[in-house]
Amino acid sequence: MKKNFLKMGIVFSIMAMVMPLKGQIQQMGTLNEPVDISVDFKSFTNTYYFANELKDFDPVTASGKVEYLRHEYSTRQAFNNMLASLVPVEANEFPGIEYEAKPNLPFDIDFVSPRTVRIRMNSGSDYTSDDPSLMLVNGTAPSDDSWKYSAVEGGHKYSNEFGSITVLENPWRVELRDENGKLLTSTNHASDNLDKTYTPVMPFSFVRRASDYSRSFSATMSLTPDEKIFGLGESYTNFNKRGSSVVLYTDDANGIQNESMYKPIPFYMSSNGYGVFMHTSTPITCDFGKYFSGVQQLMIGDETLDLFFFLGEPKEILDAYTDLTGKAAMPPLWSFGFWMSRITYFSEDDGRTVAKKLRENKVPCDVIHFDTGWFETDWRCDYKFSESRFDDPKKMISDLKDEGFMTCLWQLPYFVPKNSLFKEIVEKGLYVKNAKGNLPYEDAVLDFSNPETVKWYQAKIAGLLELGVGAIKVDFGEAAPLSGLKASGKTGFYEHNLYPLRYNKTVSDITQKVNGERIIWARSTWAGSQRYPLHWGGDPANTNTSMAAGLRGGLSIGLSGFTFWSHDIGGFVQACPEDLYARWTPFGMLTSHTRSHGAPPTEPWEYSKNFLNGFRDATNMRYELMPYIYAQAKYSSENGLPMLRALFVEYPEDPGAWLVDNQYLFGSDILVAPLFTSVTSRDVYLPGKGNWIDYQTGKSYAAGWNHIDAGAIPIVMLVKEGAVIPHIKLAQSTRFMDWSKIDLKVYGEEGKGLICLPSDNELKTLEVKGGVLVSNPTEGTTYKVIK
């Protein structure tokens, strides 16, 4: 069987070299191409309704109506250049007396928390039921009474200690300010653009399409000259989205260096002191000053507008957003160990051989992952181990667990016609349907909005978990048909982006029920998916630029409410060059979760002896840092913070921290700067004030720009002066770690840190003064202070 394992790995490598790699080119009109809503706001056939004036406002309920004026595009030729402009038009319905020419439509403000305000608007009558939202952790938003009303000239103001929201009547305008009265952003009215620019700017409005009478909003708001925008999910393009247009539509991105996303999230934060959550599951296109530099235009497919605004610094914004949509559950300790994988291990012998070699080579590891090849037919997911290649799966899983390895299994929610489960899925109606009630594709795509589908599917997953499987890889989930009809009664226009959230939840819930742990390994997401950790970054190429893009994606999803994130160390597409793999490894080891995966070989002993030694050193470092990692994970999950953290989250007062996208903070106290090219040193920005101390060499550096040599492990890694970093004795698995003895490395004369023992999962503070631990925060644990 070992021979078969090696042979199949060689075959995969050859196929990768000779078969052309194909992905989806955008704007080609192909299946499941991301939907760009912005085109509907540039059509000469559509009608645009501009928000104009506030009507019938009740200050007590903070609700009223907004009058809308109709506009359409018109042309004008000037100096051999055809110009398009938006001009007022009369009503075009017949009989005219039956329809409003200037509709007055609902507008509501809700106060959700001391830092959170909600604005809701309708573009027409709404007869749908107000069902609980899957995106909100409690289904509905809470209410808060800290906001106090005061009348102002021409409008209404609500304020508290963190800021204010003002609604002006004519012209209608909403202004958001901080606690000092600084204007953060305001809605854009047509009068803001008229005679002030030659560029036709679409103000705050909604579109009515001529093709089907459907409606969508454009929430157009101001941008300040130096304002920066971050978040929006796992976006691999520019870290700062100012000057960019971003389409939020879950897509099989086929890589991490293009504009589409596996994990779009309808949330972003501004350097100006606010964040925005677009509470919808429809496609969205956000233009952050790309078309016109002074405005942000949130073009939202939904016919109702539902926006949450959050006030504060980045930490406060993330905390408020995740209070609303949910904070990440704390994954089990073993998940923070190293995951060994490739595409793919095909047999029981493969799994046992890899486990044996990991221990022989003393490379710590906690998880063996079987990807697409554990079925009888590769990729054909039937939830059954191949009988010809697995003699006793349950015993294998048990034996691996005794050796300190958990088992993870790949699967997907698409079923080809040759799959033995296909007929049952179709006969029971468990699939997403087309307009006729038939299959939209050749595959059957499970409909997770159908409770019967969830029940059927969870039974399949439960059978695997009951064998002792630790985690399920929740792959794909981005291809639910746009026109598909779901059991929820909605089409893919409202359900496509929700599909990953339903999928994540379904697997996480059954894993929690059977194993008592919240752990999955998922690729696709939507708002709320952060509650169901964890997620990895798709399929990177084996290149320097892909490695750098991976970090931008990790930083961006961390600023979208996700605490935990991982990526394929070395890249996925082909066998990784040794130099790149060596530099990528410590970056992977210094993220919340870590996995080597992709085209073979991925196992460190398949490379040179020097590489194996370096890989082992990086893995050993991670395992010795496990008390720091686990405590930071606990703190981050409780506060909605990312483990892989943009510098400005900790240092918002440092202007330089907002400009860096090629280094990060690992938790609160460790700064990491990967080597993205074949170099041994690099420029590093150290934020804040005071000194930073090199983790590998002990050399001290002042805040600001420094050129720093990497250590023996090829990465630059520094610790904030005044930090206490807990360490543990090296073990080959987290299962065998001795948490009764913890070493405390103090960086400076005194310092503070965090500790969280897996036995009780309670976060405690460590404080060292004069080389002595002030007090023992945990019973039964001995702490040794090391300077």
Nearest-Å Rg of the Cα atoms of the chain is: 27
**Catalytic site residue 568?**
no
CA distance 726 to 783: 9
Question: Which of 67, 475, 669, 721 is an active site residue?
Answer: 475
What tokens were used for 115? 């830092």
The phi and psi torsions of 122 (rounded to 5 degrees) equal: -115, 150
Count CA atoms within 13 Å of residue 112 on its CB side.
25
Please provide the size of the chain in residues: 787
Residue type, 189: H
CA distance 711 to 693: 12
Q: Looking up tokens 């999950």, which residue turns up?
A: 637
CA distance 708 to 720: 15
What tokens were used for 415? 């079923």
Closest CA to 198 of 280, 89, 81, 305: 81
Which residues lie across from 472 on neighbouring strands? 409
**Coil, helix or strand at residue 631:** helix
CA distance 366 to 334: 6
**Coil, helix or strand at residue 719:** strand
CA distance 247 to 760: 43
**Catalytic site residue 126?**
no
Closest CA to 713 of 698, 730, 727, 696: 696
Question: Measured between alpha carbons, how far apart are the two ends of the chain, in Å?
Answer: 50
Question: Which of 539, 603, 624, 654 is an active site residue?
Answer: 539
**Catalytic site residue 110?**
no
Q: Are strands 568-569 and 594-596 parallel, antiparallel or unpaired?
A: parallel
Question: Which of 478, 568, 624, 721 is an active site residue?
Answer: 478
Sequential DSSP letters for 22-76: --PPTTS--TTPPP-GGGGGS-SSSEEEEEEEEEEEETTTTEEEEEEEEEEEEEE
Sequential DSSP letters for 425-468: HHHTT-B-B-TTSS-SSSSEEB-TTSHHHHHHHHHHHHHHHTTT
Please tell me what DSSP assigns to residue 234.
S
The set of catalytic residues is 475, 478, 539
